[in-house]
């Protein structure tokens, strides 16, 4: 096996500055490696406790959210084994196969063509208009294409209260947060609309782990095995009027997602389109570098890793190194979406972040949206609904 030299550095200072520097440094696709790492030391805490931030940056063509967690877990297990003098054995994992052609019928291919035609029409229509679909936000006055990040770590108490309300409503945490994001986007749009705006049609892309459709032996296969499914809803101010109306919106999203994943299995049906859709990335790259609008075909995207208790624990036996928090991000400023909502539960706390792309959305709009979103989640957790819409 050929040895690969990985760029690794030890830094001091602000961890987010190193984070952004790593994120914005291009890769040599033809030669690799497609990942790099930096260790950023932090001021020493009380006693003999040392703190540092490990920044792992990997190209998305070799990694998805689950692979990110697996690499981080393997790293922690190996590091703790070395520091305690124990042997370590990183497991060999199965390569995941391509989805078998026999899963598709001619009807599925016809459905794919209809789906692609619809997406292409809406994308071109959005690109030629002054709106991201139906939303009139001010356009950024910049040719720079960067990803910036906002984040909030909710307390364990707030997370448990949110989970309790979701269980009572028989709705996933995922759907409750997406519903809150829809209402936050509507509220933000209302602030910028010159006319009365009571409802909004919003489209979002949801990242799906495709391993769910394979035997359990492939549950931790590494690599990029994700798919985006598109969802469109009309959200109204009345959806935030009371407890029943909010949870009705969240339940509608929950039921639709479950049908999408488990009944119609849309991620499998649209998988033949992945090469066609990915072909827009070079076009978006060129348009963005020229300072032009690229193919914006969604209002926002969403990725949720769920509860990481089993996938990425904080502590590793009696090892001295533990994870206290983490930030997961995707630099997708060349792909069109204004921002990406990222969340997961780690060590009993909901970790929420927002990757936003300065060439597609202004800082003012993003800050307003994120403020509404975090406020709404707090409201839902402590009151069971949005009290101050």
Does the global pTM surpass 0.85? yes
Q: How far apart are CA 369 and CA 91, in angstroms?
A: 42
Q: How far apart are CA 57 and CA 30, in angstroms?
A: 17
| Residue 74, helix vs strand vs coil | helix
pLDDT, tens digit (0-9, with 9 covering 90-100), for 304-315: 999 999 899 999
pLDDT, tens digit (0-9, with 9 covering 90-100), for 47-69: 778 889 999 999 988 899 999 99
Average pLDDT over residues 317-325: 90
Domains of the chain, CATH where assigned: 7-83 (3.30.559.10), 105-383 (3.30.559.30)
Give the pLDDT score at 243.
95
Nearest of 133, 184, 145 to residue 297 by alpha carbon? 133
Q: How far does CA 95 lie from the centroid of its chain?
A: 24
* Radius of gyration of the chain, Cα coordinates, nearest whole angstrom: 22
pLDDT, the chain, mean = 86
pLDDT, tens digit (0-9, with 9 covering 90-100), for 257-268: 999 999 988 888
Question: How open is the CA angle 273-119-126, to the nearest 5 degrees?
Answer: 140
Give the pLDDT score at 123.
64
């Amino acid at each position: 096996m050929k040895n690969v030299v990985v760029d690794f550095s030890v830094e001091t200072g602000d961890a987010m500055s190193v984070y952004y520097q790593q994120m914005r440094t291009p890769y040599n696709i033809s030669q690799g490696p497609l990942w790099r790492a930096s260790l950023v030391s932090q001021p020493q805490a009380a006693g003999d406790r040392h703190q540092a931030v490990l920044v792992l940056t990997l190209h998305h063509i070799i990694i998805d959210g689950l692979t990110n967690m697996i690499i981080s877990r393997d790293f922690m297990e190996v590091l703790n084994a070395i520091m305690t003098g124990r042997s370590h054995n990183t497991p060999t994992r199965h390569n995941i196969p391509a989805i078998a052609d026999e899963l598709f019928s001619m009807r599925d291919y016809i459905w794919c063509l209809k789906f692609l035609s619809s997406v292409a029409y809406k994308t071109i229509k959005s690109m030629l208009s002054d709106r991201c679909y139906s939303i009139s936000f001010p356009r950024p006055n910049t040719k720079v294409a960067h990803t910036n990040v906002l984040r909030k770590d909710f307390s364990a108490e707030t997370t448990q209260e949110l989970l309790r309300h979701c269980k009572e409503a028989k709705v996933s945490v995922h759907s409750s947060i997406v519903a809150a994001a829809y209402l936050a986007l509507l509220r933000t749009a209302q602030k910028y609309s010159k006319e009365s705006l009571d409802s909004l049609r919003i489209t979002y892309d949801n990242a799906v782990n495709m391993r769910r459709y394979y035997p359990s032996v492939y549950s931790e296969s590494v690599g990029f095995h994700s798919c985006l499914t598109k969802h469109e809803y009309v959200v109204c101010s009345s959806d935030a009027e009371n407890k029943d109306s909010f949870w009705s919106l969240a339940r509608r999203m929950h039921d639709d997602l479950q049908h999408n994943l488990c009944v119609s299995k849309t991620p499998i049906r649209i998988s033949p389109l992945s090469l066609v859709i990915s072909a827009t990335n070079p076009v978006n790259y060129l348009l963005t570098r020229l300072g032009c609008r690229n193919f914006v075909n969604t209002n926002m995207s969403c990725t949720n890793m769920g509860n990481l208790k089993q996938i990425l624990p904080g502590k590793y036996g009696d090892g001295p190194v533990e994870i206290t928090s983490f930030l997961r991000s995707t630099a997708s400023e060349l792909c069109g979406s204004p921002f990406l909502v990222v969340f997961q539960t780690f060590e009993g706390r909901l970790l929420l972040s927002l990757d936003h792309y300065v060439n597609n959305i202004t800082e003012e709009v993003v800050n307003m949206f994120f403020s509404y979103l975090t406020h709404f989640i707090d409201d839902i957790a402590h009151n069971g609904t949005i009290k101050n819409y």
